[in-house]
Chain A
Amino acid sequence: MTTTLDKPSKPTAKAPRTAAHRTARRKALLHWIAVHSLGVAAALFFVLPFVFIFLTSLMGGQQTLTRDLIPTTWEWGNYAKVFDTPGFLTWWKNTLLYAGLGTVLTVVSSIPVAYALAKFRFRGQRLAMMLVISMMMLPPQVIIIPMYLFWAKELDLAGSLWPLIIPMAFGDAFAIFLLRQFLLTIPGEYLDSARVDGCGELRILLRVVLPMAKPGIAAVALFQFFFAWNDYFGPQIYASENPAAWTLSYGLESFKGAHHTDWNLTMAATILVMAPVILVFFFAQKAFVEGVTLTGVKG
């Protein structure tokens, strides 16, 4: 019954031509049309910005100063020009280092913590969980003054990305939270039976829990990778004084001003910064959406 309501069924000769049936079918068709036109309208809203920036990225320099929407000449060379601007490849390298190494460190350091929070019983567990959530909700700007003084003055690491990467070796609150939510869904019986077999907790974590937690770990890794890829504030504070340490997000912002380019090249650079994230998403769509859902689910 639901199918006939939701899908417009083509009228067939066999169908009884009662008036009630016809109105029901017409109503269903109208409903289908209404829903899908709304869907198309929403899709336009979401997609058109990409289309416009893509078109602009292919315009000639003079044309970007006009109100034209469609390029008169298709300058595919704009993308090559972006790669040729000084620094662009360095930004890529730095971003990959920050996002790659940072993700590995986060995952490795957060898993045992999340496991303990999800599966152990200990005094102060509730408090620890509350502190993890507080850390998760803490804006990075709140602690930036002492942190900056610490990294720059005590450790002489200003002008590099290390002040952003090193902390990830000490667990990331969001990763811990997300992994804990995921580990809670693993039934305790699996762990108990392993314990009966005489496994230590570390072995249980490595042999039993990790294989079952792969989707959760994948989601955490993705989130962390995207976080580092998108991070603007961190590089702005720690890397800004050394162009050799800039990341894509930070470099992109000053791209237009620093290279005196027009919107066409700026938009080409914008697309080149968006593209990897979107590509990664297509390969890992399922893990990602699961992760987003997990953040909103009660633990």
Chain B
Amino acid sequence: MTTYTLRSKRRRAALRTAAFLSPWLIGFSVFFAYPLISTVYFSFMKYDGIRPPVFDGLDNWTYVFNDYPMFWPAVRNTLWLVLVMVTCRVAFGLGVGLLITKIKTGAGVFRTLFYLPYLAPPVAATLAFVFLLNPGTGPVNSILESVGISAPGWFTDPTWSKPALTALAVWGVGDLMVIFMAALLDVPKEQYEASKLDGASSWQQFRFITLPNISPIVLFAVVTGVIQAMQYYTQPLVAGKVASGVIGGSGQQFEPGYPEKSTLTLPQIIYNAGFQRFDYGAAAVIAVVLFALSMVFTAFLMRSRGGLIRVGD
């Protein structure tokens, strides 16, 4: 074979690869690279969408970090969600996953029932929970109060709105349950049997056999949970809007983060700054911050050695 044909063969292979990748190459340029660069550009501009953009130095940046009243509440809420909601979801997902592997009678029915809420469309599920937890007429408080427990205001009370969102998130834990279930079934049976001969208790089995075996999956669930928490948008927004009673009735603007900014998250304040205040510059700053945070955790997911998603072969 001459070098010439080898080179042309290589070129043909490269062209073929490019052809197969072409939809994504276009998508990547138009819907990822270009808007990202543009967002960074806007973060240094004063722009309201009507008058032409003007260079504004670091004004947007100092405004967002020092003066924008919704930024730090959104950051604090996100931290809360990461600590509490993610923990609850992983613990509950693991618990239900374990339970389902132990259930012998009607396992299929149980699995389907446990999984169903995950499928409920977020807007529908949130509406349902705002109704269920409505302090006035909701069934949950009716039941709690009929047994003498004084029930909180849930979505209408700033201290209880995030726990209410956590309840909603835990209700839809079906995705984690399935992942954990698969991981649990992959744990080699021999290890359990061997330990049983050694007289290990079920707690010891869980601690020394189950956990080490599934720990990569737990870590995966935690990291993706953190990323999801940072991107949390539809549920808190819809919950706040519906619970405040202001949902598009007669021209009223909704109140972001109702009650008292307790349900604000970073994506929501991008919407608030960009599409309620029409300060595209400030919105772009928040977008850059959110992007950087998301990428830190994504990089963590991808670290090739010990990483959770292997990108190589």
Q: Is there direct touching of A and B in the complex, by C-beta distance under 8 Å?
A: yes
B-binding residues in A (CB < 8 A): 6-7, 32, 35-36, 38-39, 42-43, 45-47, 49-50, 52-53, 56, 64-67, 69, 109-110, 112-113, 115-117, 120, 122, 126, 128-135, 137-139, 141-150, 167, 169-172, 176, 201, 226, 229-230, 232-233, 236-237, 248-250, 252-254, 256-258, 260, 263, 266-267, 270-271, 273-274, 277-278, 281, 285, 289, 292-293, 295-299
Contact present for B120 and A277 (CB under 8 Å): yes
B119, A278: Cβ atoms under 8 Å? yes
Establish whether residues B20 and A147, one from each chain, have CB atoms under 8 Å apart when the complex forms.
no
Whether B30 lies near A170 (C-beta < 8 A) is yes
Complex contacts, A138 vs chain B, CB 8 Å: 32, 291, 294
> Are the C-beta atoms of B28 and A131 separated by less than 8 Å?
yes
Contact B20 A146 (CB under 8 A): no
> Across the interface, do A53 and B132 meet the contact criterion of CB distance under 8 Å?
yes
Select the stretch in B10-18, B64-72, B158-166 that faces chain A. Answer: B10-18
User: In the bound complex, how far is the Cα of B290 from the Cα of A32, in angstroms?
Assistant: 48
Q: Which of B13, B39, B124, B230 has most A Cβ within 10 Å?
A: B124
Report 18 cross-chain contacts, Cβ distance below 8 Å, ordered by A residue.
A39-B99, A42-B99, A52-B132, A67-B137, A126-B312, A131-B28, A138-B294, A141-B271, A141-B287, A201-B16, A230-B123, A236-B271, A249-B122, A256-B127, A263-B137, A285-B112, A298-B309, A299-B310
Bound CA span A113–B16, Å: 11
Specify which chain A residues have a CB less than 8 angstroms from the CB of B26 in the assembled complex. 170
Q: Determine whether the beta carbon of A32 is less than 8 Å from that of B104.
A: yes
Please tell me if the beta carbons of B35 and A43 are within 8 angstroms of each other in the complex. Answer: no
A residues within 8 A CB of B266? 141
Contact A298 B216 (CB under 8 A): yes
User: Which residues in chain B, 26-73, are within 8 Å of chain A measured between CB atoms?
Assistant: 26-28, 30-32, 34-36, 38-39, 42, 49
B234 within 8 A of A: yes
CA distance A91 to B232 in the complex (A): 24
Q: Secondary structure at chain B's binding surface: helix, strand, loop or mixed?
A: helix
The 3 nearest A-B residue pairs measured at CB: A170-B27, A257-B247, A143-B35
| Contacts A35-B99, A47-B113, A113-B24; A145 near B283 (Cβ below 8 A) | yes
Q: How far is the CB of B146 from chain A (nearest CB, A)?
A: 9
Chain A residues with CB under 8 A of B122: 230, 232, 249
| Residue interface bits B301-313, CB-to-A below 8 A is 1, else 0 | 1100000111110
Q: Is the CB of B13 within 8 A of A65?
A: no
Q: How far is the CA of A293 from the CA of B177 in the complex (A)?
A: 10
A46 touches B116 (CB 8 A): yes
The reply to whether B287 and A253 form a contact with Cβ atoms under 8 Å apart is: no
Main secondary structure of the interface of A (DSSP, over half): helix
Question: How distant is the Cα of A171 from the Cα of B21 in the complex, in angstroms?
Answer: 9
How many chain B residues sit at the interface, stated as a range, is 35 or more
- Given A6-B104, A120-B17, A141-B270, answer yes or no on A232-B123 (Cβ-Cβ < 8 Å): yes
Bound CA span A147–B287, Å: 13
Known: A230-B234, A273-B121. 4 other contacts (CB 8 A): A42-B99, A45-B171, A67-B137, A110-B24
* Nearest CB on A from B226, distance (A): 11
Q: Are B39 and A267 in contact (CB under 8 A)?
A: no
A-binding segment of B82-90, B203-211, B238-246, B256-264: B238-246
Min C-beta distance of A178 to chain B, whole Å: 12
CA distance A126 to B313 in the complex (A): 9
Query: In the complex, what residue of chain B is closest to A65 when comparing beta carbons?
Result: B137
Q: B110, A142: Cβ atoms under 8 Å?
A: no
Q: Are A171 and B275 in contact (CB under 8 A)?
A: no
Listed residue (A128, A145, A176) with the most chain B CB atoms within 10 angstroms of its CB: A145
Within the assembled complex, what's the spacing in Å between the Cα atoms of A126 and B19? 18
* A120 CA to B297 CA, complexed, in Å: 28
A253 to B294, CA, bound (A): 28
Residue of A nearest to B231 (CB): A139
Q: How far is the CB of B105 from chain A (nearest CB, A)?
A: 6
The chain A residue sitting closest to B179, CB to CB, is: A296
B310 touches A143 (CB 8 A): no
Contacts of A293 in B (CB 8 A): 178-179, 182
Most buried by B among A67, A126, A167, A226: A67
